[in-house]
């Protein structure tokens, strides 16, 4: 069941509360501010398509929430966004109104309350009480009574008890998995298809999407070292030789991160960039290109490696603000331009190594962007796949004979990965598919479970990374 969204125009608070315009009502109690902060982010995601991973840190800083208060606000925000589909199914059984008739603001309060009751250690009576207080603040006393009645019903069972009702064992597999793991049904089907022969792992994969991801750092070669990150409190990562894991604390408190010599970057993202850098070439190795480089994670790593080898990276992005972010990530030897990869600003056959991290549905990063599962529908896939095919065709024109293109997506969806490759390469005899798993093993020798080639697929439930897809293509 997808989350219910109500788009009626009146979004004003009810009951004559004394909220400050544009901000939470100040009650003097930190816990009120914690919950109001989570509510404000969830509401912005639902109402304005905001990105929680960008908005929440700003809210926490503006409201001076740190430590346990910041951790609780983060859990309430991300947990609610992950669980929308499951919570809406439960709330629908506990409400005497159809959810589409519940005001947007109040519905998000109910979702936050359901998450507190069913998925945190907060005692149910306290979870109900704080949610009712929040409902009174944003919707007035009359709606607070409704919230109290609904959430008291939610609290009559634990999550497993509700799942037995909304997702019984005799339900069809897609429906049951969709409700148990709070994923839209079309994503469940797409993930199962991408697993192929390993489709029995679908439950583990969906569960991994709902697990809190580790904070992974990259030590950009020649600019920072793993030892420096370890001394700052990080520990070893699982696979990438450039990666470290920060178990707790603020990454920006680390000097190397503040100075741009290190950064927060998923380990899968690091691995595919390292694989491009290690892919076997024929001939010179001097000019590298990142076609859709924003916001700059892979470009930052590639530019550091290129500089150490005496090569130079050119990073391009269509959006000026994303190109600006890339400029902060790369070193001084790299070039950054605003350019459309489908209408190249460079000569054909000009580059030795090319990174194409193609725009995609982002289904591989649902751990870090939980709202993405509700933001797109299956209708978005054909449009994105058409763009991916155009970008890949242009990338193959831009690489010289003997050079290598890395086609990367943060999505395992077959229509965005193998189908794109097959469509673009059909009838071409000038492109060789390299053994991507073998190249990855030169970077991370103990890495397994990425496929038998020629493409490679990383998985959250196997590798603890985003579900990054990698295909290495060499022009003959």
Q: How confident is the model at residue 109 (pLDDT cuts 50, 70, 90)?
A: very high
Q: How confident is the model at residue 453 (pLDDT cuts 50, 70, 90)?
A: confident
Residue 410 annotated among the catalytic residues of the structure:
yes
Is residue 219 within 8 Å of residue 225, measured between CB atoms? yes
Report pLDDT for 9: 36
- Of the listed ranges 139-143, 276-280, 387-391, the least confidently predicted one is 139-143
Report pLDDT for 31: 64
pLDDT beyond 50 at 213: yes
Q: How confident is the model at residue 27 (pLDDT cuts 50, 70, 90)?
A: very low
pLDDT beyond 80 at 277: yes
Is the N-terminal amide bond of 295 cis, ω within 30° of 0? yes
Mean pLDDT on 321-349: 96
Sequence-ordered list of residues with C-beta below 8 angstroms from that of 62, at least 6 positions apart, any chain: none
Report pLDDT for 249: 85
Q: How confident is the model at residue 25 (pLDDT cuts 50, 70, 90)?
A: very low
Report pLDDT for 349: 98
Pairing mode, strands 287-290 and 351-357: parallel
Q: How confident is the model at residue 321 (pLDDT cuts 50, 70, 90)?
A: very high
Q: Which of 167, 395, 410, 439 is catalytic?
A: 410
Q: How far apart are CA 147 and CA 140, in angstroms?
A: 11
The tens digit of pLDDT for each residue in 460-471 reads 999 999 999 999
Q: Which residue from 423, 426, 341 is spatially nearest to 389, judged by alpha carbons?
A: 423
Q: Which residue from 307, 303, 216, 299 is spatially nearest to 265, judged by alpha carbons?
A: 216
Q: Which residue from 357, 465, 466, 373 is spatially nearest to 405, judged by alpha carbons?
A: 357
pTM: 0.91
Q: Write phi, then psi, for 9 (nearest 5 degrees).
A: -75, -30
Mean pLDDT value across the chain: 93
Is residue 242 within 8 Å of residue 219, measured between CB atoms? yes
């Amino acid at each position: 069941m997808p989350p219910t969204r109500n788009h009626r125009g009146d979004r004003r608070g009810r009951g004559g509360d004394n909220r400050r315009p544009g901000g939470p009502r100040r009650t003097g109690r930190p816990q009120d501010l914690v919950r109001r902060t989570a509510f404000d982010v969830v509401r912005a995601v639902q109402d304005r398509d905001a990105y929680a991973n960008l908005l929440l840190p700003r809210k926490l800083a503006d409201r001076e929430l740190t430590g346990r208060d910041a951790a609780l606000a983060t859990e309430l925000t991300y947990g609610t966004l992950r669980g929308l589909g499951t919570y809406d199914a439960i709330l629908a059984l506990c409400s005497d109104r159809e959810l589409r008739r519940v005001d947007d603001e109040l519905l998000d309060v109910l979702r936050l309350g359901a998450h507190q009751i069913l998925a945190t250690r907060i005692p149910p009576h306290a979870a109900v009480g704080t949610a009712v207080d929040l409902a009174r603040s944003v919707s007035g006393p009359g709606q607070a009574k409704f919230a109290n009645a609904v959430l008291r019903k939610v609290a009559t069972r634990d999550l497993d008890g509700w799942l037995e009702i909304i997702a019984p064992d005799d339900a069809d597999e897609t429906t049951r998995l969709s409700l148990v793991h709070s994923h839209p049904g079309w994503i469940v089907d797409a993930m199962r298809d991408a697993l192929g022969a390993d489709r029995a792992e679908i439950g583990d994969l969906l569960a991994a999407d709902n697990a809190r991801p580790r904070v992974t750092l990259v030590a950009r070669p020649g600019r920072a070292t793993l030892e420096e990150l370890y001394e700052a409190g990080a520990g070893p990562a699982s696979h990438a030789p450039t990666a470290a894991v920060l178990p707790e604390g603020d990454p920006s408190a680390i000097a190397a991160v503040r100075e741009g010599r290190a950064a927060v970057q998923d380990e899968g993202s690091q691995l595919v960039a390292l694989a491009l850098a290690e892919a076997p070439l024929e001939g010179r190795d001097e000019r590298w290109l990142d076609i859709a480089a924003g916001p700059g994670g892979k470009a930052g790593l590639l530019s550091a490696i290129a500089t150490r080898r005496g090569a130079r990276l050119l990073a391009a992005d269509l959006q000026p603000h994303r190109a600006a972010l890339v400029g902060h990530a790369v070193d001084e030897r790299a070039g950054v331009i605003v350019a459309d990869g489908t209408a190249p600003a460079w000569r054909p056959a000009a580059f030795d190594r090319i990174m194409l991290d193609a725009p995609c549905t982002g289904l591989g990063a649902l751990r870090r962007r939980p709202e993405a599962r509700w933001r797109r529908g299956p209708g978005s896939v054909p449009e994105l796949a058409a763009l991916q095919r155009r970008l890949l065709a242009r990338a193959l024109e831009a690489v010289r004979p003997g050079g290598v293109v890395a086609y990367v997506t943060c999505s395992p969806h077959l229509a965005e990965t193998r189908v794109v490759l097959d469509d673009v390469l059909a009838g071409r005899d000038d492109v060789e598919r390299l053994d991507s798993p073998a190249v990855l093993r030169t970077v991370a020798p103990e890495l397994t479970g990425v496929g038998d080639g020629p493409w490679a697929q990383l998985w959250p439930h196997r590798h603890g990374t985003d579900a990054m897809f990698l295909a290495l293509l060499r022009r003959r």
